[in-house]
Amino acid sequence: MSLPKRNEVPVEQTWDLSTLFDSNDAFYAQLEKTIARTKQFNQEYAGTLSDTSKIESALDEYAAIKKELDHLGSYASLLFSVDQTDDTSGKLYSKYVNSYGTIASLLTFVESEILALDTEILNKLKDETPAYQRYLEKLIARKPHQLHPEVEKTLASFSPVFSAPYNLYDTTKMLDIDFGTFSAHGKEIPMSYVSFEGELEVDADTEIRRNAFRKFSDTLKKYENTTAKTYDMVVQQEKIESELRGYDSVIDYLLQPQEVTRELYNRQIDLITTELAPHMRRYAKLLQKVNGLEQMKFEDLKVSLDDTFEPEITVEESRDYIKKALSIMGEDYMQMVNDAYDKRQIDFVQNKGKSTGAFCASPYQVNPFILISWTSKMTEVFVLAHELGHAGHFHLAHQNTNIFDESCSLYFVEAPSTMNEMLMANYLLAESDDPKFKRWVIASIISRTYYHNFVTHLLEAAYQREVYLLVDKGESMTADILNGIKRKVIEDFWGEAVEITEGAELTWMRQPHYYMGLYPYTYSAGLTISTIMSQRILNEGEPAVQEWTEVLKRGGSLPPVELAKMVGIDLTTDAPLKETIAYIGSLIDELEKLTEEIEQHK
């Protein structure tokens, strides 16, 4: 059955964007006001930012404009994300993107003029404006790479062009690719991006799962050259800008805003790909054994250890699970969770043109908005807990920081979300001592939380690093090159434990994170923090929760290493990573023991 159109789905299962704007007309009216306000701001302050009082006054107004832009951008992208087939939403989104280029060019003078000041004056300015101290601190770090004001203005004007490759990728993915149907057991089964990633690639029926993968891969293959060219536009643009700004490499350029050293970045990838691989190969062999597979193939890696034990979860039942798992976070946090359900802040439905995967958008000082495509599987409860982790983080950060400081480094941003997955796991493990239930829970932790964040995204990061190393050498990316890199990364990780089927190399085509800089590796970084912290919460209870809540409140007002230090985690060593990998290994040990126990009592 094909997906319904957006206007055919139950409205109560969609999100309500009226807390941003109650209509498209209201959006357009505000956009015009913001453009006018920005022009006025430019006229009043451009060429005047030389003393503390004037700069502080300008930053107050700049912050207000940024808040308006944040709300406008959120509304435009959220509206478009749930139905990319809708021309009205598409036009509104395009209007915002094009207007943003004009607005951004009018705002570049702020940072250009501040950074034109001598370093001594900048440091004095930072000390005399406590409200913007952190913002100025990060700005000063960029000073060696700041370009001439007119160049910065020109680059800002081109921002709609720089965002075009991602929009082109998303349009190809959501509107042009038609997977049609595939055959299994003599029947024709319809398939879409959503149904493959949400249901078919985890289907317990081997013929359905493998045939779906074959059709999915064969269809992607038809678009590999266009998608590779689209991706190449992104990395070449990043390469050009990194050279213009005087960075030694694209990787250094992309790590700078994350406030992460090259050492931390490389360690995250190298240590996991070498030390986690043996544990995950054991997990693959266990999946093969329990599911009676003659050969373990790439497309079998997401199959359940016990599909018969997998409960069907309704939306309301998910709320009960999440309420019980996250209640330890306190009343304020749980009010945010309840509001997400009660006030239509979650978009649950599946419909044609809706973005795949899941995300949480948190407009500054407005409620969060969570996108998910509900499939009634337990994995979706973990996904929802994950996105509510982002929501809770920014809910607290927005109450305690200004708009410049509310967003933390990408290196830290996945810690609060994966923390909630770990709290869900802790709750479920405490529910029962039944071997089949415990195995199901641990398998869910491995397959959902760790496989997704520590394997899928980490292998994307290893692939991405190889791409940028080639780009730094002046190479362009083609489908053949990208396929070769991806296949080698997968083969090196899984070794002889898994047959890497033809088409597995095309997984680089499925991930939008590549259009967002060095994002994929940060999932494992966040999960390293949350694994250790969740164990502290499990063992210490309320005191550990209070410490974690204080971290969430800080938003991006500290670098990621400092945020982790607030809860006693030292990211400058390999100890947290090794501890997390050892924990994953212990979970797989437990799965093997439980499986043996279950089979003995058959």
The helix or strand, by DSSP H or E, that contains position 240, with its residue range, turns out to be helix 224-244
pLDDT at 453 over 90: no
Q: Quick check: is 490 in a domain? A: no
Is residue 506 within 8 Å of residue 217, measured between CB atoms? yes
Of all residues in the chain, the percent with pLDDT exceeding 70 is 100
DSSP string, 89-100: HHHHHHHHHHHH
The number of distinct structural domains making up the chain is: 1
22 assigned to some structural domain: yes
d(CA 544, CA 569): 13
In a domain? residue 162: no
Q: Residue 114 is encoded by which pair of tokens?
A: 């501040």
> Is there a domain that residue 34 lies in?
yes
Distance of CA 457 to the CA centre of its chain: 10
Q: Which residues contact 589 (CB under 8 A, 6 or more apart)?
A: none
Average pLDDT, the chain: 93
In a domain, 110, yes or no: yes
Question: How many Cβ atoms are within 10 Å of 356's Cβ, its own excluded?
Answer: 17
- Domain containing 21 — which CATH number? 1.20.140.70
Six-digit token pair at 267? 């360690």
Residue 42 covered by a domain: yes
Counting residues of the chain whose pLDDT is more than 90, the rounded percentage is 81
Residue 381 lies in a domain: no
What is the SS3 assignment for 120-181? Answer: HHHHHHHHHCHHHHHHHHHHHHCHHHCCCHHHHHHHHHCHHHHCHHHHHHHHHHHHHCCCCE
Is 171 a residue whose pLDDT tops 90? no
Candidates 327, 307, 438; CA nearest to 379 is: 307
Between the alpha carbon of residue 455 and those of residues 251, 269, 362, 384, 458, the distances in Å are: 21, 10, 27, 20, 5
What range does the domain containing 21 cover?
11-146
The residues that bridge with 346 in the sheet, in sequence order, are 370
33-75, pLDDT tens digit by residue? 999 999 999 999 999 998 899 999 999 999 999 999 999 999 9
* 514 in a structural domain: no
Assign 204 to helix, strand or coil: coil
Q: How far is CA 492 from CA 488, 497, 499, 533, in A?
A: 6, 11, 12, 31
Q: What is the pLDDT of residues 242-252, one digit of tens each?
A: 999 999 999 99
Mean pLDDT for the stretch of residues 353-371: 94
> Of 314, 556, 250, 209, nearest to 415 (Cα)?
556
Has residue 1 got a pLDDT over 60? no
Report the predicted TM-score, pTM, of the whole model to 2 decimal places. Answer: 0.87
